[in-house]
Amino acid sequence: MSGERRLSRRSILAGGLGATLAASIPREAWARGRTPVGGKLSLRVPWPMHAIDPHRIDDPTAAIFGDALFDTLYAPGEAGAFVASIAEADPEPEGASLRVRVRSGLKTGKGRAFEPRDAAAAIARARSLGARAWLADIPAPKADGRSLVFAMRDAGRLVRALASPLVAMIPPSFSPEAPDGTGPFRFTTRGDTVVLARNPFAARGPAYLDEVTVRAAPDLAASLRAFESGTDDLGWLGSGLHEPRAGSRPFDLGAVAYAVLFTGRDALTWDAPGVAQRICDGIPPSRLAHLAVGPAWTPDPAQGWGGPPASLHVRDDAPWLVELAKAIAATISQRDHEVTAKPIAAADFAQRRASRLYSLALDVVRPIVPGTFGTMVALATADNAGQAGGLVMHPPKLGEVPARTLTRTLRCGVAAEIRVQGGRTQDVVLATSASGVGFDLGATTRVRAR
């Protein structure tokens, strides 16, 4: 990860500095010389950019760019601890309840005041979507003045629950097509291009960069072509289509989500717990390596597909996922048990996933929080949110194990990691999110030539 840095704006906040841009520059940076402020960044990603919803567990764009737009009440800090983010401090005991004070004067990127009642509404929305299981043991809060009051006593559990990116703080008027939050950037558009512009109202301090321009790449080659030709500053998954761009450097900020294979009702007897993961484990890593799917695994004996001839459904607006579906289908097909990748409209795909009326489907799952347990809860939620709540209420003892080992009792299997990696120009210094994976675009800078 040459040239990347672990410095995050959340760690700056934890150091007690203010929320203005000047105050958001850490003391360590001043000792090394001024952190450069300003500049622009451009990239293309093979993912949809028309909508971002931090509360959806299957939103790949939120997994990649959510930290740039949204904050949580608490956030990852140093050494696995959590720190107050847009909460003022740790929860305060108050009888049989906990009081979480929300910072005053907060505004979203669109200049709208953000109040405790808005935070309560955001938690309710998160509970209705991807955080349903994760919040199973967290009572709905009551807005009281500048605070949220939770009828519970376990402060550690409350902080961890509220630190999930799937419990991001958004205003009641939130729309995924025009997302608004308190993060370092605000979401704007120029034609069919998304521009993340510095948010002057950012709760934890505005971004160092002026803006980040993000285009949805129509295929996997578009980003590499644009980077190799000098059009873009980052190349997604590589440093060039034909040859590496001169002077470029690689970056790898880890896995922000998983590509997961699901079995459905049309799979008949093959719609059973553990089947999907056995199929995934039988795929040789070399068949998927061109998609940068993460560390290689030791494949099990090829399972292949033994159910009826099937379509592998995948949303058609995510080129990386479509290419992965094609590679998986070609690998697991067997005579009289053929599998064909079938891209369909995202809305139709969502309906099929909800009804489970398919044989096979390839979807995205975001970890609830960093670590094995957060990944297990996410996978269980994507498989059956109603049953996943029991897992949260009675968590098993887990070590740090690969995600592939967590689905043996689920009707889904981890096929690949979705990673933030590729090539960058020499003058771009990428910052890693405080969670340890993915971008912290708010703390990313460009080194100015002297």
- 88 found inside a domain: no
> Residue 270: which CATH number?
3.10.105.10
d(CA 430, CA 6): 9
**Cα dihedral 270→272→273→275 (10° resolution):** -10
Tell me the three-class secondary structure of 266-279, residue by residue: HHHHHCCCCHHHHH
Does residue 287 sit within a domain?
Answer: yes
How is residue 412 annotated by DSSP? Answer: E
> String of b and e for 79-116 (b: at least 16 CB within 10 Å)?
eeebbbbbbeebbeeeeebbbbbbbeebbbbeebebbb
Q: Phi, psi at residue 408, to the nearest 5°?
A: -65, -25
Burial class (CB in 10 A: 0-12, 13-18, 19+), 244: middle
Element (H, E) at 226: helix 220-228
CA-to-CA dists, residue 8 to 166, 268, 398, angstroms:
19, 48, 28
pLDDT tens for 401-414 read: 999 999 999 999 99
Residue 383 falls inside a structural domain: yes
What confidence tier does 78 reach under pLDDT thresholds 50, 70, 90? confident
What integer is the mean pLDDT of 305-311? 96
Average pLDDT of the residues in 101-117: 97
Confidence of residue 399 (pLDDT cuts 50, 70, 90): confident
pLDDT band at 30 (very low <50, low <70, confident <90, very high): very low
Q: What is the pLDDT of residue 303?
A: 83
Sole residue written with tokens 């003391």 = 27
pLDDT of 267 strictly over 50: yes
Could you give the number of structural domains in the chain?
Answer: 1
Strand order in the sheet with 360-365: 234-236, 412-424, 249-263, 360-365, 310-315, 339-344
pTM of the model: 0.92
Band of residue 445 on the pLDDT scale cut at 50, 70, 90? very high
Domain annotation covers residue 80? no
Question: Alpha helix locations (H) across 46-192?
Answer: 60-69, 116-128, 155-162
| Secondary structure letter of residue 169 according to DSSP | B
> pLDDT tens-digit profile of 204-254?
999 999 999 999 999 999 999 999 999 999 999 999 999 999 999 999 999
Q: Output the six-digit token pair for 250.
A: 């690689």
Question: What is the model's pLDDT at position 450?
Answer: 54
Q: How far apart are CA 413 and CA 406, in angstroms?
A: 9
**Is 360 among the domain residues?**
yes
Hunting for tokens 């990649």 — which residue is that? 64
Retrieve residue 102's tokens: 């929300």
Amino acid (one-letter) located at 449: A
Structural domain range at position 348: 255-419
Whether 264 has a pLDDT exceeding 90, the answer reads yes
Q: Does any domain span residue 133?
A: no
209 domain residue, yes or no = no
Q: Residue 23: inside a domain, yes or no?
A: no
In this structure, what DSSP letter does residue 37 have? Answer: -
> How many other C-beta atoms can be found within 10 angstroms of the C-beta atom of residue 449?
5
